[in-house]
A and B are shown apart, each in its own frame.
Chain A
Amino acid sequence: MLNSLMLFVGITLMYSTPLVFAALGGVVSERSGVTNIGIEGMMTIGAVTGATVGYYSGSAWVGFFAAGLAGGVIALLHAFASITCKADQTISGIAINLIGPGVALFVCRLLFDGATMSLPVPHKIPKVFGSLNSKAFQNLNVDVTVVIAFVLAVFIWFFLYKTKWGLHIRAVGEHPAAADTMGLNVYKIRYICVLVSGILAGLGGASMTLAIIPQFTPTAISGQGFIALAAVIFGKWTPHGAYAACLLFGAAQALTVTLGGGRFAVPSSILAMLPYLITILILILFVGKSSAPKASGQPYEKDAR
């Protein structure tokens, strides 16, 4: 009993971690007033960069940071389109979702002899308790990225709600014109937030391909970006809400894993639906109307009234 409980907790944390990184990025970007529907594309870029750099450098951490960098670079595209050019942020985000996987597979094929899978990295990201051999706690010996994700969630919550910079970000997302009047540089703040969102999405992608599986595959990132997007809305655009939403989603996944294995006569594809069904059910029962930051999705025109 205790063992399966720990297995459950371990799997929950494992599944939710890439989502947490990406969703936190989504929160930061949305809070500054820029919708980021391109998280999926940014995660894929992070995933391929992490695995590739991790393979060639031999260090998982170098790969991890490179992935953040790569996510940031592609996020700049989104920032340029939606902030400087005042383009439609949904369209730009969808473009990122098309470009990201395209570039990822293109690069992978070029570097790994035409294969859509990268070679496994020599060292994965380490576990929290190192190479611990105690049977009882084996399932709780999670990847270090799990801890990093949690620390980040706390930090971003603190930053958004307890520091003046956080207040600036929220002001820019709620009422950019008022923030501008107070002397804040709306464009600069939004640029930084989108950049951060890309970096976090990239780290999320790499936490998949450097910790959970040791390589990039075409299906390594398949929908996590959209689930993260859902977690942002689900968590009502707050870091703690998004974190909880990701945990819930991870728990639902863990439930399907622990329920599976032939103990019940439920087909695996029906079990696989569970997380999504549970999410919809919870939305109906508890959440109801969610309200985005007021200026989210709207470009800021300095002289417009």
Chain B
Amino acid sequence: MDKAIKILKKPLTMTLIAVFFGFIVAGIILAAAGYPPVHSLSVLFDGVFSSPKHISNVIIKSTPIILTGIGVAFAFKTGLFNIGAEGQFIMGCVASTVVGILFDFPPVIQIPLVVLAGVAAGALYGGIAGFLKAKFGIHEVLTSIMLNWIALYFSNYICTLNRFHKPDTIGTYPINRSGYTMILGNYKTTEAGKAALAQNEFLRSTVLKTDVNVGIIIAVILAVFIWFLLYKTAKGFELRAVGFNKSAAEFSGIYVNRNILHSMLISGAICGLAASLYITGNSPHGIATLAAFENTGFNGLSVCLIAASSPIGCIFAGLLFGGLIYGGQSLQYEVGAPSEIINIVIGVIVFFVALTRIIPPLVDRFSKGGKKHA
């Protein structure tokens, strides 16, 4: 009994319950719309797991949202709601693209340079919201919403400039090849490389056919690093103290405003990193004119919520999210069900994540009540 209670109170259990309900609701909606629910969901799973190529693509799709998820989670720990992840991601993309096109150093210099440009742009952009909050007390949600739109139009402006605009497209030129971060990226384009990789079935489908890149490795390292920073260092303690109780933190000698600024700088930097790794690792290696937000940052928000703001949890939540989006394409392709069902699934999962947070107190009440009667 006690063991069951313990398991029920684990955050992971809550999340799994939420995911389970997400699929149940999706099945009901699919059935109501006249699609076979069990078959549809199995097509969805096949679309993710049926071949190494699919798994590889899911990982590639998940990498940016894992990273933006970690960024949002970091701010959350300091009590800040970084709805501006979207804008920080866009600005990171812009900076990486611009620097990647303007300069052409050897990869050892070029890659760090392009990545740093993205990180710096994201950090600065997040820092604006943090600064306005710390200095003038303006709600970070308010400034972030405005900054997201400014980023979108700024990105579109860059797309129109002659130096960057690729004729007959709505986007920019790709960055110089020296900035690419695909695994075996250059080797893949040589005849010898193509032949060698094609011999092995696994390598052929995972490496040769996809944009597999170093992003996921960096995302995992970063998740561990952020966890360490938050829970094992004095700075992490300060940041979390501000998140838990501002007045108590202030009283114990922690500079609240400075930590708010730092938190937004770091959160923005992580979103900028997501952007630069996206630009260097995925074709078309540049930016395109945006008609609306592409939601990489907003999806990070959902990833962070599903992961209960745990940096490590963001890896798994991000993979789940990426898998759903990628698998949703085959759902539309093979069953004909609108792929928007995936957004509904994700929404329902997030909704149940909100609901399942009430399970621990309920379990407590239940177990206490039981003991009283015993």
Contacts and interface: CB of A to CB of B under 8 A. Distances in A.
B354 interface: yes
Contact of B153 (A86, A92, A233, A273): A273
Interface string A255-278: 000000000000101101101110
B341 A219 contact: no
A110 B160 contact: no
Contacts of B302: 94, 98
Contact of B350 (A98, A100, A227): A98
A95 interface: yes
Contact of B132 (A98, A110, A284): A284
What does DSSP make chain B's interface, helix, strand, loop or mixed?
Answer: helix
A67 B354 CA distance: 26
B358 A87 contact: yes
Given A219-B291, A284-B136, A91 B343 contact: no
Residues of B in contact with A, size category = 35 or more
Contact of A81 (B137, B148, B149, B351): B351
A102 B299 CA distance: 14
Given A106-B338, A280-B146, A81 B141 contact: no
Given A91-B305, A106-B33, A283-B142, A276 B149 contact: yes
Nearest to B149: A276
B354 A233 contact: no
A90 interface: yes
A81 B21 CA distance: 15
A102 B145 contact: no
B280 interface: no
Given A85-B358, A229-B141, A269-B153, A91 B146 contact: no
B347 interface: yes
A167 interface: no
A233 B143 CA distance: 11
Which of B83, B137, B143, B149 has most A Cβ within 10 Å?
Answer: B149
Nearest to A301: B361
Contacts of B148: 223
A275 B149 CA distance: 10
Interface in A86-122: 86-88, 90-92, 94-103, 105-106, 109-110, 114
B146 A276 contact: yes
Contacts of B83: 226
Contacts of B156: 269, 272
| Interface range, A side | 35 or more
A86 B358 contact: yes
A288 B136 contact: yes
A154 interface: no
A65 interface: no
Interface string A192-236: 000000000000000000000000001100110011011001100
Contacts of B291: 219
A99 B343 contact: yes
B365 to A, nearest CB: 11
Interface in B115-153: 132, 136-139, 141-143, 145-150, 153
B142 A99 contact: no
A233 B139 contact: yes
Contacts of B231: none
A287 interface: yes
Interface of A: 77, 81, 85-88, 90-92, 94-103, 105-106, 109-110, 114, 218-219, 222-223, 226-227, 229-230, 233-234, 267, 269-270, 272-273, 275-277, 279-280, 283-284, 287-290
5 contacts: A88-B357, A98-B302, A100-B347, A276-B150, A283-B138
6 A-B pairs with the lowest CB-CB distances in the bound complex, closest first: A102-B343, A98-B347, A99-B347, A289-B137, A95-B351, A87-B354
